[in-house]
Chains A and B, each alone.
Chain A
């Protein structure tokens, strides 16, 4: 395996009870610098997959590597050098008096001091647009800002891989866009982003690749447009396909190709109506 792979699962399985696998024989590689989306219904194994990446769990069978390093034998603290995690609810990870202290906390744990520590705090504040709020009490900020503080404290650690578990829950469209811009900026710095979200439209817009997980197995893996047009696979995974995929799939008897693009749907429908209208006139 080459070092270009940020994350590699090789025949990895995980279970709490042996006959009930939570993840079953996962083979998956995520190259560095990719925004990879992870989708699946509640209980599909998404959170467990993230925990195998951030070292909170080890595979029972097979192997998980981060940048070529086997996670078996890495403590969660060692894995945290490569992987930063942002959880769904920022309230669960904010506990200090100021935004700055929150960002500094992880740096202090790493033993960073002086100019490097100060520089990283500034860079994280700048990357997340929080400079003016450095002295604010994190828990008095709006939900969207708290989510950004949580992200800033992870960014300051400069992990190679960022894991985000439903980071846009509770955020309005504007805050969601801001958060995604921050992630795009991180990607441009070569970081790998693994994004878990139920918001398929968001995956369509930002992910380069989507992994569809169902009952602990990978059911589909590819560009989001392609994966989300697999209507039957999505239903098998107990996910409701995006609006356009549902609409076009349900009109396939009239020759429509299943797509999740709004423009493609509009074009197909317009053509269909024109053709039908033409036939009607001719007939």
Chain B
């Protein structure tokens, strides 16, 4: 049984003209790291909200079809119970701050899991260390910068060791180095959980995800291997207006092809580009 299943899911916000999501049928599996990509208003955040129960428990609207988390219908499961297995970083992460102090904020979900004080202390330490925020333990949340707050929210989700991670633009306020290191950390932890990351930044997603789901106006228009999507897109540039934003490394593969080089697979990361170049250098064009 996949941890997350969606069957013919459609959702319309109250008062909205059209559907935010239309007829979504898919499943997300254990060990998978999935990127969800699409333009503003394509339904990315709504999709996550249907998994963590904010829809239908807090947002009212018309929901049809089914969403199951660990085999349980989301609409029949109290949000508090869902939160024990689903960790979420909201796009507007400042809205999810509950703790007064950093330590309290990171420990909030752990207290709710009923963990021992010793276990909580250990997990808080560990999560703050991963996020490079050890020195901030006693600081007030409201005194932190936007980027620091986002790191603490991420630390809380990491500390929860939730089986399902829903991350909506989780590094939007972070600098590039912090962003890259968080994505690498999430990748290193992907085996035992299901990680779903919403981002408009393909350069962040492509090096780490093995599956890309593309949403356009509430519908899934691509679901599969990321490089195949880029190939397909580049061959059909007019697909949609929002879709430039192709990562520089992928553009590089295209330019190299134009110059007569054989690049069988689009680059998704700097490392892939480097490997290809070194292989050509050693082996010549043959």
Contacts and interface: CB of A to CB of B under 8 A. Distances in A.
Contact of B173 (A166, A240, A269, A276): A166
A281 B283 CA distance: 11
B263 to A, nearest CB: 10
Interface string A154-170: 00000000000010011
A2 interface: no
Contacts of A201: 203, 248
A238 B285 contact: no
Of the four ranges (under 10, 10 to 19, 20 to 34, 35 or more), the interface on chain B belongs to 35 or more
Interface in A165-216: 166, 169-175, 198, 200-201
B176 A200 contact: yes
Given A170-B91, A173-B200, A173-B245, A244 B252 contact: yes
B178 A262 contact: no
Interface stretch (A39-47, A56-64, A115-123): A39-47
B175 A239 contact: yes
Contact of A169 (B173, B248, B249, B280): B173
Nearest to B276: A269
B39 A173 contact: yes
B41 A240 contact: no
Nearest to A268: B277
A265 B92 CA distance: 37
Interface in B2-22: none
A107 B41 CA distance: 31
Contacts of A269: 252, 256, 261, 277
Interface of B: 38-41, 91-92, 94, 145-148, 151, 169, 172-180, 200, 203, 241-245, 247-249, 251-252, 255-256, 258-261, 270, 273-274, 277, 280-281, 284-285
24 contacts: A40-B175, A41-B178, A42-B145, A42-B174, A42-B175, A42-B178, A43-B147, A89-B94, A143-B40, A172-B245, A173-B200, A173-B245, A174-B39, A174-B242, A239-B177, A240-B179, A243-B203, A243-B270, A247-B252, A251-B277, A266-B255, A266-B258, A269-B252, A270-B261
Given A174-B40, A269-B256, A276-B284, 17 more contacts: A42-B147, A42-B175, A91-B92, A142-B41, A170-B169, A175-B39, A200-B176, A201-B248, A239-B175, A240-B175, A240-B180, A250-B270, A254-B281, A262-B252, A266-B255, A270-B259, A273-B280
